[in-house]
Amino acid sequence: MLPVRMLLGLIFISILSLQGQTQPAPAPAQGAPTPGQPSLPTTIPPGPPIVRDDLTPEQKEVMKEVDRLRAEKALLDAKIALADAKRTEELVPVNSEVLRLNSERALRMAKASAEASALEDERVSLERQAALEAARSNARLAEKNNKIKELEAEAKQLQLEASNTITRLNNDINRFQKEEEARKIAANAKPQYLKDPLVNGTLVISDRRILLNGAVTDQLAEFVCQRISFYNNQNTDYPIFLVVDSSPGGSVSAGYQIQKAMVASKAPVYVVVKGYAASMTAVIATLAEKSFCYPNSIIMHHQVSNSLKGNMTVLKEQMEFTNIWFERMATPVAKKMGITLQEFVKKMYENDSTGDWQAFGEKAQQLKWIDHVVERMEETAVLDILAPAPPPAVSPARASQESTFGVSTQVDDKGRTVFILPALANPFDAWWIYDPHGLYRAL
């Protein structure tokens, strides 16, 4: 851009040049517009140079007017250029200031953006640290709560064990005291051994007795068979009593071992049912050399049941084998009743829609399930102990550790005490047990 002074000089020179070229306008030619008519355009189209001497006065006037207009236009253009130059010169500091302000504004915005970004990063970092610290605090709190619960549970367990210990010691003390009193009372009494224990409607039971209670398992069968052998080695003249307070039945294999031990015994083995005998235990009672029960004792027979698993072929084989077990064990019962096995099964469902054929003592005697119904039973072997010590309370956490002949007790999710049967050791075994309330659970 040229400096303003130089530009003004050029404009001034142009004006002088135009004024030097200006000539008096020629007289208007004939036919030229009169003063009242519109003037010619100020811009004359290019053409051959005009010789002013050849012009009429009117044309010279027109040319003079054109020159004047051109001079005015040049002057106006120079003034506009001068004004633009002045305005441009005046705007230079303004534009510089605007540029500086824009630069400062952009710099401040960049700084503000950087600071905002840094603050956002710091906020996110602080939030992350706060969340992490909160998670750690919660974890520490949960750990402490769990520790407190463990300590509380341990304290409760110790308290329960202490209570059980105190109860057991108190029971032992009471038992010892009662035993001492019983010994004094029965110092001269002795068990009665009778070859025919049924005396005037009273069954006299000696100390050659074996308890057969609960589920029939391999452990219970081993216990019973050992006791039968023990009493046989003592004496073979007097009977051995299998006393059943209550038994729902159990393992077919274990029951078969007991039944065969009874048959092989040189001393007679009699079964005494005080409460009820079902399933496998009912078979043992029915097939005994002699059996006894109260009028209100209950005997119950039904078909073998089993829990099967495997593919179709395995299920079929298990069904066939279970059926063979039933035929081998139930056929002697049907034979004693004087009917066939098929008639025996048919009568089961005729008497009960579930097939659980149960009968009180008198009816059981008529069906030949029991040989003798008695009103009284005399336990002559109870000489030194009035009553067994009650078992200590069992907490649910330790219930599964307490077992009798392989059957452990547990408390289920409904708060009921259930009995956990041991796994059948014999792969060809089956459960023959009566459990309408679902209290026995097989492994």
Which 3 state secondary structure label does DSSP give 47? coil
The C-alpha atoms of residue 65 and residue 335 are separated, in whole angstroms, by: 158
Q: What is the DSSP string of 212-281?
A: --SEE-HHHHHHHHHHHHHHHHH-SSS-EEEEEEEE-EEEHHHHHHHHHHHHH-SS-EEEEEEEEEETHH
Cα distances from 61 to residues 27, 53, 58, in angstroms, run: 5, 13, 5
β-strands 202-205, 376-379 pairing: parallel
250: left (phi over 0), alpha (psi -120 to 50) or beta: left
* DSSP H/E element including 410: strand 407-411
- Report yes or no: 329 and 411 within 8 Å, Cβ to Cβ: no
To the nearest 10 degrees (0 to 180), the angle between helices 252-264 and 312-337 is 30
* DSSP H/E element including 394: none
Q: What is the DSSP string of 232-245?
A: HHH-SSS-EEEEEE
CA 19 centroid distance within chain: 109
The C-alpha atoms of residue 271 and residue 262 are separated, in whole angstroms, by: 10
**Euclidean distance between the first and the last CA atom of the chain, given in angstroms as a whole number:** 107
The sign of the CA dihedral 194, 196, 198, 203 is positive
Cα distances from 415 to residues 45, 138, 151, 362, 419, in angstroms, run: 121, 34, 24, 37, 13
Per-position b or e across 292-310, b if 16+ CB within 10 A of its CB: bbbeebbbbbbbbbbeeee
Cα distances from 100 to residues 94, 107, 151, in angstroms, run: 10, 10, 75
**Which residues are the active-site residues?**
279, 302
Q: What is the DSSP string of 93-128?
A: HHHHHHHHHHHHHHHHHHHHHHHHHHHHHHHHHHHH
